[in-house]
């Protein structure tokens, strides 16, 4: 027994809250779960607030007693003190009739009590448990695993998870990776196959998920207590666009020992055109631009098209498209400066052309002139696999495009039930950037709202993270069935969204140590604090220390590196001989095709992709066409 429930007229016990006192040196604290056994009912509660006071009636009495000297000798008798705790009820047994908490002895909850108090018994036990461990609850030297309900974390009952906390201290990414690992290990196979798509938006955060981290003994004990194997993710595929040179991958996972696991993310005109809305800002979105984009998509791209001036086009790439635009502008110019082409105003055509061409410039490396790109394996997703999309080095426009297209494709395939898995967790960090609480309506935000509100029916689950929840669209965070809080900023805690938390809980959140989180879940009537071990997968910072990124290499060396990553038998000198004198676009195209096909004979396939070499013809130097200006004695001449 650790305390007794007390009730006065001013501090009564109610069905939802009660107060109790304990010894001064009690082991419990804010967040502790306690049990009160009455004659005919048991109540479980979580400590929300605490107060201590003595019988000192007025501060002045202390001054008088010490004769004004705070450094006076310590009093021989300690004043009588109280530790008064306020707890919110988690559960009553029996649930009906709902009555005030009995005025009885208070005990620290045992692990079994924690299961009952948090209503986890409904999904931890039984024939088809759906429990996903999220962390260890600890109080008074006792530890108990805390589980989330897969039906409420991944759907269909509720879904989505949002994690919140200050950078560097809240351990948001670590928590997310631990939880994802727990999901992969505990999600019931009977419920379906599951995969994760993680957008790496900063640094090397998610680049080493397949590498084992160094864990401490304490971590090992926590893993054992949570029944999670301390292993990195078994199936990880990392996708990254190229750098502008088109051969060096734009990722911090560029150490020679790891590059074979990085695949290029490259898209052609068709992929970009389907998501052209992302590229258009609010002012651009008008019926005219839409109509012209539709015209391009329906009538031009990927089809034989002949313009009014008799030129035949087959637009497969950005270069082809640019040729078409050039032909239109030249044709209109030649026609006496006409300003309409096929009902589209030349200004609209110019605007659309600028936006589309802009992406090929700003996202060079992501967008290719080739007709086919290299993409995530939509339709062939594997169970318990993580697909990391590394867009950390891509500018905001490119990140928006990648995010929108990948999520749209996931959604399309999940709707058709042909993705390869039934559930996909999409992890997005810096959610405040993609779904801000205010600011213009963007295509990305609309998409995130759509996932938040309808994704659970499809198996498309959003695991979002951000520093400040108040800065994320409230429908996005509001639809997250499970919310996790790490160390919080006091300014953020002062915002209206946290009014339901007690001052002591806020204070605890503001000083939460690394590795400790507060979790809200539909089954928990109050937030619960848990500790979790460090993720078994290598964190980004340790990853770049263990596998330092390599500097960009010259074009030929980069090609060699990529081909040898596919097949170690490839002789670098042979590759260099093959590409000598070739146009870089041709080499890139052949390289991409080889990577995509992953043939048995890499070098032969690559050579075939290059095609026959075109011999360079020497061109005779022509005499200067313009006669040099004769020297004049002009002091102002340049």
Partner 1 sequence: MREALARAGGTAARGTVRRFAPQPVAKPFARSRVVEGSAIAALDVGAPVPAPEGVGFVDGIQQYVVDGHIGLTPVVRAYVDAAVLERRAGVLHCAARAGDEFLVVPGARLAARQRDALEAIGLPLRDSDPGPRAHPLVDLWAATQVIEQRRTACEIAAARDFLAARPGAWLFVDGGVSGLARLAGAGRAVGIVKEHETQFLDGPDLEVALTLPAGSRSSVFARSGGGAETHSWYLRLWPWPEEDLLHGLTRIERLAGAVTPAEAHMVSRWLLAERTPIAAPDQRWDRLIYPMHEVETYLRAHAGGWS
Q: Which of 151, 173, 260 is CA-nearest to residue 481?
A: 151
- Whole-number Cα distances in Å, 583 to 274, 366, 606: 29, 19, 14
Among 39, 71, 73, 190, binds partner 1 (CB under 8 A): 73
72 contributes a contact to partner 1 by CB under 8 A? yes
User: Least separation, in Å, of the C-beta of 219 and partner 1?
Assistant: 39
11 contributes a contact to partner 1 by CB under 8 A? no
76 contributes a contact to partner 1 by CB under 8 A? yes
Among 11, 53, 61, 330, binds partner 1 (CB under 8 A): 61
Q: Which stretch binds partner 1 (CB under 8 A): 67-75, 223-231, 473-481, 596-604?
A: 67-75
User: Least separation, in Å, of the C-beta of 66 and partner 1?
Assistant: 6
Which tokens hold the place of 282? 């609010």
Among 14, 80, 218, 358, binds partner 1 (CB under 8 A): 80
62 contributes a contact to partner 1 by CB under 8 A? yes
Please work out the total of residues on this chain that contact partner 1, with binding judged by CB under 8 A.
18
Q: Which stretch binds partner 1 (CB under 8 A): 65-73, 113-121, 154-162, 214-222?
A: 65-73
Sign of CA dihedral 34, 37, 38, 43: positive
77 contributes a contact to partner 1 by CB under 8 A? yes
Nearer residue to partner 1 within complex by CB, 75 or 168: 75
| Nearest-angstrom CA–CA distance, 444 and 464 | 14
Among 75, 94, 126, 244, binds partner 1 (CB under 8 A): 75
Residue 446 neighbours by CB under 8 Å, 6+ apart:
none
52 contributes a contact to partner 1 by CB under 8 A? no
**Judging by beta carbons within 10 Å of its beta carbon (0-12, 13-18, 19+), is residue 465 exposed, middle or buried?**
buried
58 contributes a contact to partner 1 by CB under 8 A? yes
Q: Are 300 and 349 in contact (CB under 8 A)?
A: no
| Nearest-angstrom CA–CA distance, 175 and 169 | 11
Q: Which of 145, 249, 142, 126 is CA-nearest to residue 595?
A: 249
User: Least separation, in Å, of the C-beta of 1 and partner 1?
Assistant: 18
Q: Where are the alpha helices (DSSP H) in 134-267?
A: 150-153, 172-186, 217-226
79 contributes a contact to partner 1 by CB under 8 A? yes
- Whole-number Cα distances in Å, 354 to 275, 351, 457, 546: 15, 5, 38, 43
Nearer residue to partner 1 within complex by CB, 72 or 212: 72
Which tokens hold the place of 525? 């009537």
Q: Which residues of 444-457 are buried (b: 16+ CB within 10 A; e: fewer)?
A: bbebbbebbeebbe
Residue 388 backbone dihedrals phi, psi, to 5 degrees: -95, 125
Q: Which stretch binds partner 1 (CB under 8 A): 60-68, 179-187, 237-245, 630-638?
A: 60-68
Only one residue has tokens 């999600």, namely 187
Q: Which stretch binds partner 1 (CB under 8 A): 42-50, 56-64, 396-404, 568-576?
A: 56-64
53 contributes a contact to partner 1 by CB under 8 A? no
User: Least separation, in Å, of the C-beta of 76 and partner 1?
Assistant: 4
Residues that bind partner 1 (CB under 8 A): 55-58, 61-62, 64-66, 72-80
């Amino acid at each position: 027994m650790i305390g007794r429930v007390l009730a006065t007229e001013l501090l009564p016990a109610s069905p939802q809250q009660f107060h109790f006192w304990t010894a001064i040196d009690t082991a419990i604290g804010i967040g502790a779960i306690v049990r009160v056994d009455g004659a005919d009912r048991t109540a479980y509660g979580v400590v929300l607030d605490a107060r201590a006071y003595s019988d000192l009636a007025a501060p002045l009495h202390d001054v008088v007693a010490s004769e004004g000297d705070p450094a006076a000798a310590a009093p021989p008798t300690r004043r009588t003190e109280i530790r008064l705790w306020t707890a919110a009820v988690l559960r009553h047994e029996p649930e009906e009739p709902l009555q005030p908490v009995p005025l009885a002895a208070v005990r620290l909850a045992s692990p079994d009590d924690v299961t009952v108090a948090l209503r986890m018994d409904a999904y931890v036990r039984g024939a088809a448990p759906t429990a996903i461990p999220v962390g260890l609850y600890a109080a008074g030297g006792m530890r108990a695993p805390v589980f989330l309900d897969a039906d409420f974390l991944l759907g269909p009952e509720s879904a989505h998870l949002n994690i919140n906390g200050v950078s560097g201290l809240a351990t948001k990414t670590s928590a997310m990776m631990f939880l994802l690992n727990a999901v992969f290990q505990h999600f019931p196979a009977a419920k379906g196959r599951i995969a994760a798509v993680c957008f790496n938006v900063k640094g090397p955060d998610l680049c080493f998920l397949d590498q084992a981290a160094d864990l401490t003994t304490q971590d090992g004990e926590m893993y054992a207590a949570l029944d999670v194997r301390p292993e990195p993710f078994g199936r990880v595929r990392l996708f990254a666009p190229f750098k502008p040179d088109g051969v060096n991958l734009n990722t911090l996972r560029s150490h020679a020992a790891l590059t074979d696991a990085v695949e290029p993310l490259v898209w052609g005109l068709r992929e970009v055109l389907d998501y052209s809305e992302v590229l258009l800002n609010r002012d651009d979105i008008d019926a005219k631009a839409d109509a012209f984009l539709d015209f391009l998509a329906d009538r031009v791209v990927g089809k034989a098209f002949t313009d009014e001036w008799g030129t035949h086009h087959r637009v497969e790439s950005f270069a082809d498209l640019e040729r078409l635009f050039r032909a239109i502008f030249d044709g209109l110019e030649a026609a006496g400066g006409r300003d309409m082409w096929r009902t589209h105003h030349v200004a609209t055509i110019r605007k659309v052309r600028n936006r589309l061409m802009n992406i090929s410039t700003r996202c060079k490396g992501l967008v290719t002139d080739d007709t086919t790109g290299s993409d995530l394996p939509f339709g062939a997703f594997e169970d318990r696999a993580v697909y990391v999309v590394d867009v950390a080095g891509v500018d905001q426009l490119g990140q928006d495009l990648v995010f929108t297209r990948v999520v749209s494709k996931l959604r399309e395939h999940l709707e058709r039930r042909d993705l390869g898995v039934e559930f996909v967790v999409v992890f997005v960090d810096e959610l405040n950037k993609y779904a801000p609480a205010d600011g213009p309506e963007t295509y990305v935000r609309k998409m995130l709202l759509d996932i938040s509100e309808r994704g659970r029916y499809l198996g498309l689950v959003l695991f979002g993270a951000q520093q400040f929840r108040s800065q994320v669209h409230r429908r996005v965070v509001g639809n997250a069935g499970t919310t996790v809080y790490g160390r919080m900023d006091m300014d953020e805690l002062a915002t209206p969204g946290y009014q339901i938390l007690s001052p002591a809980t806020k204070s605890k959140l503001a000083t939460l140590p690394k590795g400790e989180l507060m979790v809200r879940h539909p089954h928990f009537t109050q937030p619960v604090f848990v500790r979790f071990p460090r993720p078994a997968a290598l964190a980004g910072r340790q990853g770049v220390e263990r596998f330092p990124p390599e500097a960009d290499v010259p074009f030929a060396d980069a090609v060699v590196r990529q081909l040898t990553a596919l097949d170690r038998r490839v002789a670098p000198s042979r590759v260099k001989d093959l590409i000598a004198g070739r146009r870089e676009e041709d080499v890139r195209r052949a390289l991409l095709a080889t990577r995509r096909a992953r043939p048995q004979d890499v070098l032969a396939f690559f050579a075939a992709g290059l095609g026959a070499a075109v011999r360079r013809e020497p061109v005779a130097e022509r005499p200067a066409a313009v006669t040099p200006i004769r020297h004049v004695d002009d002091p102002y001449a340049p």
